[in-house]
Amino acid sequence: MTAKPKVFITDFVTDDLHIEREVLGSLADLAALGAKSERELWGKVEAAFALIIYHAVELREPTITRLNQCRVIVRAGVGFDNVDIQFARSRGIPVVNIPDYGSEEVADTALAMTLALTRGVHLMNSQLRAAAGPWSYKLAVPVFRLRGRVFGVIGLGRIGTAAALRAKALGMEVLFYDPYKPDGYDKALGVHRAESLEELLPESFVLSIHCPLTEETRHMIDRRAIGLLPRGAYLVNTARGPIVDQGALLEGLEQGHLAGAGLDVLEEEPPRDDDPLIRAWRDPGHPAHHRLILNPHAAFYCEEGFHEMRRKTAEACRRAILGQPLRNVVN
């Protein structure tokens, strides 16, 4: 009797695999490994026909080398910076992602952070809770009307586009920088293209980041970039933590150059307690305490989107098992 193909979920999802089982049925043997590090995968994944990887572990050459039977690696999410996609390709293993499961939710989070920051909602709530001022709108002075202000977008992909359309609905002017976006897309959406960061940043009242993490974008938003933003600007990052230099961001808040920031992602997740940004955020005497919103890499989440992501990862494995064409191959 021929053994069934083995499908392993490396991390994050560890129990109640009913969604994946509904899709795969009797086609495969399914198991969740619950790994917290790549090293924990060794000795467990060698027989994998398909691997589903979330974001709690990395998949680099030492592990990919062991995948002698693997026909697909499915990154359960949009970003794939935790997988060495080029080495996987050299081993003949396609890597696919799930680019559309949470586009609305991440865009909604970016706009939620934008509104909470620019309307003073977070600032006033934080100060009132700490009894740090009078029961007055003056806690958040100055607050400016959003209509006509520039919502700057880095990366006009699926999520960046969704965020841009939401900002337009608020009456904001959308200016984007994305050198990989074909001409004409801006006209179709009614937004405007910046040819460089030097053009985008000085115009951006709100800067919202939606590009992938690559060597090109790592620390793209550094001290110089933050200095190019107008004084009193806001920065929102729902993409990947290392795109923003956290030390430079902290300086921007300390010096009052940034009026506030919202981060769903950090350079290290979860952060260390002694991380300077975390210490400042927790310090009632530091400007970041009231002006920084932190979320635990949760912008992707809603019940419907999470279920959709799990179903689509299983469907990608099913296609590989049945020999059908794969979708969303990133390598």
Question: What is the mean pLDDT of the segment spanning 168-193?
Answer: 97
- Pair of tokens at residue 162: 């969704």
pLDDT band at 15 (very low <50, low <70, confident <90, very high): confident
Each residue of 86-145: pLDDT tens digit?
999 999 999 999 998 889 999 999 999 999 999 999 999 999 999 999 999 999 999 999
C-alpha neighbours within 13 Å on the C-beta side of residue 69 = 14
pLDDT band at 25 (very low <50, low <70, confident <90, very high): very high
Closest to 258 in 3D by CA, of 240, 270, 244, 268? 244
pLDDT at residue 5, as a whole number: 96
Question: What is the mean pLDDT of the segment spanning 48-70?
Answer: 95
258 contact partners, CB below 8 Å, separation of at least 6: 226, 229, 232, 233, 234, 235, 249, 252, 291
pLDDT at residue 101, as a whole number: 86
pLDDT band at 1 (very low <50, low <70, confident <90, very high): low
If you ran DSSP here, which 8-state letter would residue 39 be given?
G
pLDDT at 251 over 70: yes
Alpha-carbon dihedral 15, 18, 20, 24, rounded to 10 degrees:
130
- Pair of tokens at residue 91: 């081993």
Enzyme catalytic residues: 240, 269, 297
Q: Can you tell me the distance from the alpha carbon of 168 to that of 166, in angstroms, rounded to the nearest whole number?
A: 5
Q: Can you tell me the distance from the alpha carbon of 204 to that of 259, in angstroms, rounded to the nearest whole number?
A: 13
* Mean pLDDT across the chain: 96
Each residue of 259-315: pLDDT tens digit?
999 999 999 999 999 999 999 999 999 999 999 999 999 999 999 999 999 999 999
Closest to 257 in 3D by CA, of 284, 294, 230? 230
